[in-house]
């Protein structure tokens, strides 16, 4: 690494956790809190020069001839749990590469962490990854000592800046699980995140919509990782009771703008006024107090549930609201559909490839009244929408119920990116 990059990276590594992968953010801290302070730091330290941008990033001539002799370096921000959102998808792919193809896996955590504890969590979640090397990139010395790898994968825009400066990689990939510039206002940090799509990395795009953006707008080349669900957790069951209050689930994370919490909160007040004791609104996904958002007596919250318990919660609900304002639908509608829950979501043209109004879900325009009207219609007309729920569950079982097939397509691309038609 050159001195300019090391100067940038030393401080950047302390900041790579500012934006989440999937569902990593917990608690009531928003990624926009203190935006200017953080953006000032990121503008100074998450940096690259023109030479770095012009340097070729792909060196297939360095690949070990045998796939089983290859190594994959994953560049990740610090994370707490391996069971949620994008982190779990990353680890699924790593486990597939290890168990099916014999590719050694190494996890480079961009920041200070307890590597032994994190390694134990990874191995507990995915047995094939037990004993995999975990390193903390928390110093200049750690950056200098990054081992060579056949595959190197950035997993968040800040980690892409770290990988840009690595000079001993054969193939570089970028696992893109959302359009990350939209995690920020249209400003300095947005521009930095957007630049990473022009680094020359091969893309691993979580959904067709994300792939199309990467290829159409940035001239990249990517394989699609088709979102799938864990059928041991998310599966059909007995429908919720036909008598008593109708149960509505919402994945609620205040302070995470892309989940549309503010619109949902306003809609819930209208729903509760209209349905009274005829509706029970249950939230999960983060720890927060309903009283802080004028929702006391309107909703109850269960905080961050253990992964294995989420399926049972979804099956207990008649309707599930899954809001997403960025270019990825999230895993929530897939999981809710698999459990037989009627999905309501906001209209988002980036997700039209999956969420189809009246066919597998109900879609609402993004106003409190429109959302409330759709939710009341879904709750009161739950039985009438049985064909929608059935088609949704069938779609998930048919096209999104096999992680191994989805991951195998990505693995083939990683082994030989030129095979992508």
- Please report, for the domain that includes residue 264, its CATH number: 3.40.50.2000
Per-residue pLDDT for 297 more than 90?
A: yes
Per-residue pLDDT band at 17 (split at 50, 70, 90): very low
142 lies in the same domain as 286:
no
One domain, residues 180 and 70: yes
Tell me if 332 is assigned to some domain. yes
Please write the tens of the pLDDT for every residue from 194-228.
999 999 999 999 999 999 999 999 999 999 999 99
Does residue 386 fall inside a structural domain?
Answer: yes
Q: Measured between alpha carbons, how far is residue 122 from residues 108, 231, 343 in Å?
A: 13, 20, 31
Residue 253 has pLDDT above 50, yes or no: yes
Classify residue 140: in a domain, yes or no.
yes
Cut 0.85: pTM above it: yes
DSSP letters along 134-173, please? EEE--SHHHHHTPPPEEEEEE-SHHHHHHHHT--SEEEEE
The answer to whether the beta carbons of residues 198 and 217 sit under 8 Å apart is no
Look at residues 153, 187, 184 and name the one whose alpha carbon lies nearest to residue 169.
Answer: 153
What pLDDT score does 3 carry? 46
Predicted confidence band of residue 4 (pLDDT cuts 50, 70, 90): very low
For residue 173, give its domain range. Answer: 3-228+403-419
Contact 167, 149 (CB under 8 A): no
- 75 & 125 share domain: yes
Q: Which residue, among 254, 278, 275, 280, has the nearest Cα to 265 in the 3D structure?
A: 254
With the C-alpha atoms ordered 225, 64, 143, 134, is the resulting torsion angle positive or negative?
positive
Whether residue 169 is found in the same domain as residue 295: no
pLDDT in tens, 183-194: 999 999 999 999
**91: helix, coil or strand?**
helix
Question: Any idea which residue has 């957790």 for tokens?
Answer: 233
Indicate whether 1 pLDDT > 80. Answer: no
Q: Are residues 269 and 205 in the same domain?
A: no
Q: Which of 282, 120, 324, 342 is nearest to 290 (CA)?
A: 282
CB atoms within 10 A of CB 63: 16
- Is the same domain home to 333 and 300? yes
Residues 250 and 219 in one domain: no
84: confidence class by pLDDT, cuts 50, 70, 90:
confident
Does the structure show a pLDDT above 70 at 21?
no
**Shared domain check, 9 and 119:** yes
Give yes or no for residue 102 having a pLDDT over 90. Answer: yes
For 280, residues 6+ apart whose C-beta sits below 8 A from its C-beta are 245, 246, 247, 248, 300
CB 103 within 8 A of CB 71: yes
Count of structural domains, the chain = 2
Q: What is the pLDDT of residue 25?
A: 34
Vertex 128: Cα angle to 127 and 134 (nearest 5): 95
* 136 within some domain: yes
Domain match, 266 and 353 both: yes
Q: Based on the domain organization, do 256 and 276 belong to the same domain?
A: yes
Whether residue 233 is contained in a domain is answered as: no
212 and 258 both lie in a single domain:
no
Does residue 16 register a pLDDT over 50? no
198 within a domain of the structure (yes/no):
yes
pLDDT at 237: 93
Is residue 260 located within the same domain as residue 205?
no
Rounded to the nearest 5°, which phi and psi values hold at 154? -80, 145
| Domain-located, residue 241 | no
Q: Is residue 332 very low, low, confident or very high in pLDDT (cuts 50, 70, 90)? A: very high
pLDDT-derived band of residue 421, with 50, 70 and 90 as boundaries?
A: low
Kindly state whether residue 158 falls inside one of the protein's structural domains.
yes
Average pLDDT over the chain reads 92
SS3 label, residue 255: coil
Specify the 3-state DSSP secondary structure of 118: helix
Give the confidence band of 35 by pLDDT, cuts at 50, 70, 90.
confident
Q: What is the CATH number of the domain that holds 112?
A: 3.40.50.11090
State both tokens at 126: 């995915």
Confidence label for 34 from pLDDT (cuts 50, 70 and 90) = confident
If you average pLDDT over residues 21-47, what whole number do you get?
A: 70
Contact of 159 with 199, CB cutoff 8 Å: no
What is the rounded average pLDDT of the residues 75-92? 93
> What's residue 29's pLDDT?
54
């Amino acid at each position: 690494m050159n001195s300019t990059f090391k100067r940038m990276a030393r401080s950047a590594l302390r900041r790579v956790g500012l934006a989440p992968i999937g569902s990593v953010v917990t608690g009531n801290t928003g990624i926009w809190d203190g935006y200017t302070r953080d953006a000032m730091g990121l503008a100074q330290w998450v940096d690259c020069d023109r030479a770095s941008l012009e340097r070729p990033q792909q060196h297939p001539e360095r690949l070990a001839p045998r796939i089983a002799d290859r190594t994959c370096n994953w560049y990740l921000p610090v994370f707490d749990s391996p069971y949620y959102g994008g982190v779990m998808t990353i680890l699924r792919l790593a486990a597939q590469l290890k168990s099916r193809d014999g590719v050694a896996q190494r996890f480079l955590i961009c920041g200070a962490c307890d590597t032994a504890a994190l390694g134990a969590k990874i191995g507990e979640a995915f047995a094939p990854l037990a004993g995999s090397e975990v390193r903390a990139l928390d110093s200049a010395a750690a950056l200098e000592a990054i081992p060579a790898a056949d595959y190197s994968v950035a997993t968040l825009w800040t980690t892409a800046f770290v990988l840009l400066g690595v000079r001993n990689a054969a193939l570089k990939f970028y696992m893109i699980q959302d359009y990350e510039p939209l995690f920020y206002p249209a400003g300095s940090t947005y521009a930095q995140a957007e630049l990473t799509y022009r680094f020359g990395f091969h893309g691993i795009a979580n959904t067709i919509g994300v792939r199309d953006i990467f290829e159409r707008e940035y001239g990249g080349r990517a394989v699609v990782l088709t979102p799938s669900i864990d059928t041991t957790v998310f599966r059909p069951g007995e429908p919720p009771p036909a008598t008593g209050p109708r149960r509505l689930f919402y994945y609620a994370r205040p302070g995470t703008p892309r989940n549309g919490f503010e619109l949902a909160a306003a809609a819930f007040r209208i729903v509760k006024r209209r349905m009274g004791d005829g509706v029970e609104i249950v939230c999960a996904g983060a720890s927060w107090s309903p009283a802080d958002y004028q929702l006391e007596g309107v909703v109850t919250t269960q905080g961050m549930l253990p992964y294995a318990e989420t399926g049972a919660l979804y099956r207990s609900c008649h309707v599930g609201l899954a809001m997403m304002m960025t270019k990825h639908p999230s895993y929530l509608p897939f999981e809710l559909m698999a459990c037989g829950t009627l999905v309501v979501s906001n209209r988002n043209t980036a997700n039209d490839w999956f969420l189809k109004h009246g066919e597998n879900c109900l879609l609402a325009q993004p106003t409190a009244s429109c959302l409330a009207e759709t939710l009341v219609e879904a709750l009161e007309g739950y039985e009438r929408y049985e064909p929608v729920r059935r088609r949704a569950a069938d779609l998930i079982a048919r096209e999104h119920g096999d992680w191994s097939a989805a991951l195998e397509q990505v693995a083939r691309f990683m082994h030989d990116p030129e095979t992508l038609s």
